[in-house]
Amino acid sequence: MVTLTVTATEKVHDFIQEHGVEGDAGLRVAVLPGGCSGFQYGLNVEDGPESDDEVVDIQGVKVFIDPFSAQYLEGVEIDYVTSFMGQGFTFRNPNSSGGCGCGSSFTV
């Protein structure tokens, strides 16, 4: 399903430690209606999964994915990049048929 690069995994671990989140905390990866191209990605650290979430352990990071989002996240790679323009998480989605310049909006 979803993969995280080593760099992305390290950043999520760092964030969880810096903010003192404990227990079943993990990274929610979501696809939300909206954005320039129809859908946008959402990332959030949460205390635990919802009852209908798929929970995937990726290199020690619990990833929570709701049923709606799961259909759009097959094969998506999440990375964390640093460049002259800034730093942040990026998404490589082999299923998207288009996107826009913001990098977090896509079309299927």
| DSSP string computed for 6-74 | HHHHHHHHHHHHHTT--TT-EEEEEEEE-STTSEEEEEEEESS--TT-EEEEETTEEEEE-HHHHTT-T
Q: Please tell me the total count of domains within the chain.
A: 1
Residues of the chain under the 50 pLDDT cut: 102, 106
Q: What is the pTM of this model?
A: 0.83
Q: For residue 75, what pLDDT is reported? A: 93
Share of the chain above pLDDT 70, in %: 85
Q: Which domain holds residue 84?
A: 3-100
In a domain, 13, yes or no: yes
| CATH classification of the domain holding 72 | 2.60.300.12
Q: For residue 48, what pLDDT is reported? A: 92
Q: For residue 6, what pLDDT is reported? A: 96
How many whole angstroms separate alpha carbon 36 and alpha carbon 52?
A: 28
